[in-house]
Amino acid sequence: MKFGYFDDQRREYVITQPDTPLPWINYLGCQAYFGIISNTAGGYSFYRDARLRRLTRYRYNNVPFDLGGRYIYLRDNQSNQFWSPSWQPTRHQLERYECRHGMGYSIIGSEYQGVEARTRYLVPLDENLEIWQLTVTNHRPAPAKLSVFSSVEFCLWDAQDDSANFQRNFSTGQVEIEDEVIYHKTEYRERRDHFAYFACSAKIAGFDTQREPFLGPYRGWDSPLALERGESANSVAHGWAPIASHHVKLDLKPGESRQIVFVLGYHENPKEQKFDPPDSQTVNKKSVKAVIAKYRNPASADAAFEQLRQYWDSLLRICQVETPCVHTNRMVNIWNAYQCMATFNISRSASFYESGIGRGLGFRDSNQDLLGFVHMVPSRARERILDIAATQLPSGGAYHQYQPLTKRGNNDIGGNFNDDPHWLILGVAAYLKETGDWSILEEPVPYDNEPGSEQPLYEHLQRSFQYTLARLGPHGLPLIGRADWNDCLNLNCFSDTPGQSFQTTTNKEGQVAESVFIAGLFCLAGRELAEITCRRPCPDGKEKLQSPCSSAAKLANGYLAEVARMEEAIRQHGWDGEWFLRAYDDFGGKVGSKECEEGKIFIETQGFCTLAGAGLDNGMARKALASVRQHLATEHGIVLQQPAYSRYYLELGEISSYPPGYKENAGIFCHNNPWVMIGEARVGNGDSAFDYYSLINPSKREEISEIHRCEPYVYAQMIAGMDAPTHGEAKNSWLTGTAAWNYFAITQWILGIRTSYDGLEIAPVVPKGWKGFKATRKFRGVTYQVDVERVGPGNNVALTVDGVLTAGDVVAPPPEGVRQVAVKVTLS
């Protein structure tokens, strides 16, 4: 069953029924100001940091109620009826409801008793504000006497404090009202130099800034007293709960349309110019007034929308494909790339499943997010890499997370997740391959943001690698620390106290439990580091070297020797006969082995070791992948392990805390499915790789939206596995490494259009049944038109570049000045 449809032409998903199984959301803003908006106008906004600079309030445990948002009410002043054109919060039976989620904007419209209302919500590029552009049309044969009421509820900035510290917060709220603009200035009197505002383009008949007079005592957003009366209370908030609401009267002739623009924004003043006059307590509005005036004008709002469309058009054009599969095309060309922007910006911090108060930017997560983002805005990827590296610890280890506003490591969650450092190497490698910008390696970057500790970024990568070498366990495999990629495999935790955090509790020395996953990751990262080392231009002479200088070669060989040793350790101690083991626990017992009672086989090591190339030469990779097919594959995707843990295991930690079939305990954890896809591609099995890709492709799953339940246009972190009663049900949409990894797997490994140091590599491993496909890829300033034709069943590639037959599968950069290259590829 579907709740809408894809409008690929306009790059929109159109929801035609407001009561979707769960709120289906979109992100507004892609730089510094962000909003989350649901299909019924729910959600919240923040500036940079969802926790520390929250503009509007969100109530926790709110899914699926989805109350609180960017609500506009309409009122018919002849019948005294009022309703919400976005369905929520009044939930009237609307005629012609439609929500169009697009690239950085959402349009929610409906008709009710002959009155049509359509609101376009968007954040203009390079601005810290959001526009709600409302158009009301009277389709009745008679004049309509209407009122429009807007509403937002402010958050008192620190979202965590806002939802907990009422004894203080009920007494701090302050506002100012001037020229149809409501200014929210709580704490501006003391240490804040920022405020929020909510402006309206029309002359207002009234306003409210205090929640209680607007809603009325004991009432919710579905029945505000102001709407019942048809009049605002003109309340001025002092303490309690500041809101902003405008009342605009609209008399519309039959057929007449009118636009009103609302602007919700964030503004900072220089500390010494906070007040106007300087010795007063009145907000200095001089610099914000111009911005407000600009966007209150519908023409500016239209122009901002047009600019946003063009911006997304240019980003998406960088990689476009035309394959025989509509779901692949739609995800690659539109939605998967779009989701990668969201995960790059927000990491795992703010969605309807991530509260915005719990997590900052993850060290591991943000590095992986680069894989799906770096081609779109390389300059921002560069900045991100340097920010992440600056939180690295001198040991080479990492804070698990950092706060985007302060860019400081977050001590609450600590470190010692022993996989973390290696993702930095992979992130940097992806950046270098995409851009060829070797200068990033020479950027001085501090450790733990400590001034004076700066070393070239390259040195950070070396320390990442060394970190593992200094932490090897009894089998010569990496010690796991708190956990590896699987945050829930807490082999040193041994927690028996309810409520204790599995992420930060450690009751063991940590000198025994080892991770085969980190071993695979180490091999991949080590090979990348060796290659970077060889190719790194000598820092003094800026020339890029054809062959590495002898010291670099020696260093690189040293890294490769360590990789070879690790591969040997995997062969000796990380192989279970039919698949890769997962780990050794604190007693030296096997995890993910046929000898185990439960959790005999895990996906992560099968995926990551084969992706990293382990066992390609000796049949282990194929065996491991066959075992995945046999034991882990389901019709909804590949589950994380089998059999699921049926009880809590003290020595395994959080993984066994989840009921079977959910999350890390045998859920389909979509993030790691692409590792198996890449593994299948590496062994040349295009049918299997693409089959796995299709199983979790959200667009493909649109048809079963009543089962999948999450948005059909983005990936979710998890789909319930076969042990759960709700097998096939997705949860935690949007913010997941699934976005970047699927994008990477389909574009670079299945379609095989791969960035490399020497040029664009083209090595498709696609289904046998495909006759071919086309792709356009912009890469280092050149547009490559790739036309793949299948003439035989295999994966052998023959390239003709601009008419010239070319050996190998890499298209070298064209001569200076050439901007277009045509590549014919025959697959046989």
Q: Which residues are catalytic?
A: 487
User: Quick one: three-class SS letters along 758-824?
Assistant: CEEEECCCCCCCCCEEEEEEEECCEEEEEEEEECCCCCCEEEEECCEEECCCEECCCCCCCCEEEEE
Q: Closer to ligand GLC at the Cβ: 274 or 663?
A: 663
Piece of 76-84, 426-434, 479-487, 750-758 that binds ligand GLC (CB under 6 A): 479-487
* Sign of the alpha-carbon dihedral angle for 543, 547, 551, 557: positive
Specify whether the CB–CB gap between 603 and 670 falls below 8 A. no
Q: Least distance from C-beta 666 to ligand GLC, angstroms?
A: 13
Q: Pick out residues in 574-633 that bind ligand GLC (CB under 6 A).
A: none
Lay out the site mask for ligand GLC across 490-519 (x = CB under 6 A, - = otherwise): -------------x----------------
Q: Interface with ligand GLC includes 664 (CB under 6 A)?
A: yes
Q: Least distance from C-beta 343 to ligand GLC, angstroms?
A: 10
d(CA 100, CA 651): 48
394-398 own/partner pairs: CB under 8 Å, 24+ apart: 394/447, 394/448, 394/453, 394/463, 395/463, 395/467, 395/470, 396/421, 396/460, 396/463, 396/464, 396/465, 396/466, 396/467, 396/470, 397/421, 397/467, 398/363, 398/364, 398/424
The three-point CA angle 632-634-637 to 5° equals 90
Residue that has been written with the tokens 């057929």 in this structure: 255
Residue that has been written with the tokens 């259009």 in this structure: 753
Q: Closer to ligand GLC at the Cβ: 12 or 420?
A: 420
Residue from the set 34, 83, 399, 485 that interacts with ligand GLC by CB under 6 A: 485
* Sign of the alpha-carbon dihedral angle for 579, 582, 584, 586: negative
d(CA 131, CA 109): 15
Piece of 77-85, 287-295, 312-320, 362-370 that binds ligand GLC (CB under 6 A): 362-370
Specify whether the CB–CB gap between 70 and 173 falls below 8 A. no
For residue 484, CA distances in Å to 479, 500, 697, 790 come to: 9, 19, 26, 40
Angle in degrees, 0-180, between the axes of helices 298-316 and 336-346, rounded to the nearest 10: 110
| Chain center to CA of 247 | 37
Q: Closer to ligand GLC at the Cβ: 38 or 736?
A: 736
d(CA 520, CA 604): 10
Q: Closer to ligand GLC at the Cβ: 503 or 685?
A: 503
Residue from the set 348, 471, 573, 709 that interacts with ligand GLC by CB under 6 A: 348
Q: Closer to ligand GLC at the Cβ: 631 or 731?
A: 731
Q: Least distance from C-beta 655 to ligand GLC, angstroms?
A: 8
Q: Which amino acid, one-letter code, is at 193?
A: D
Residue 121 β-bridge partners: 106, 132
Q: Closer to ligand GLC at the Cβ: 484 or 761?
A: 484
145: buried, middle or exposed (CB in 10 Å: 19+, 13-18, 0-12)? middle
119 is written with which tokens?
């609101």
Lay out the site mask for ligand GLC across 283-322 (x = CB under 6 A, - = otherwise): ----------------------------------------
Q: Least distance from C-beta 571 to ligand GLC, angstroms?
A: 26
Q: Interface with ligand GLC includes 51 (CB under 6 A)?
A: no
Q: Least distance from C-beta 551 to ligand GLC, angstroms?
A: 36
Specify whether the CB–CB gap between 183 and 171 falls below 8 A. no
Residue from the set 12, 49, 162, 365 that interacts with ligand GLC by CB under 6 A: 365
Q: Closer to ligand GLC at the Cβ: 327 or 482?
A: 482
Piece of 47-55, 158-166, 386-394, 663-671 that binds ligand GLC (CB under 6 A): 663-671
For residue 157, CA distances in Å to 160, 169, 240, 357, 527 come to: 9, 11, 14, 11, 45
Q: Interface with ligand GLC includes 362 (CB under 6 A)?
A: yes
Give the count of alpha carbons within 13 A of 793, CB side only.
2
Piece of 230-238, 246-254, 359-367, 695-703 that binds ligand GLC (CB under 6 A): 359-367
Size of the site for ligand GLC (CB under 6 A): 16
Residue from the set 654, 680, 723, 729 that interacts with ligand GLC by CB under 6 A: 654
Residue from the set 246, 382, 536, 663 that interacts with ligand GLC by CB under 6 A: 663
Q: Closer to ligand GLC at the Cβ: 341 or 766?
A: 341
Residue from the set 487, 562, 576, 680 that interacts with ligand GLC by CB under 6 A: 487
Lay out the site mask for ligand GLC across 115-144 (x = CB under 6 A, - = otherwise): ------------------------------
Residue 71 β-bridge partners: 151
Piece of 253-261, 310-318, 484-492, 721-729 that binds ligand GLC (CB under 6 A): 484-492
Q: Pick out residues in 727-766 that bind ligand GLC (CB under 6 A).
A: 736-737
Q: Least distance from C-beta 749 to ligand GLC, angstroms?
A: 20
* Phi/psi of residue 124, nearest 5 degrees: -65, 150
210 is written with which tokens?
């205090």
Q: Least distance from C-beta 489 to ligand GLC, angstroms?
A: 8
Instruction: Give the footprint of ligand GLC on this chain (CB under 6 A).
Output: 348, 362, 364-365, 485-488, 503, 654, 663-664, 671, 717, 736-737
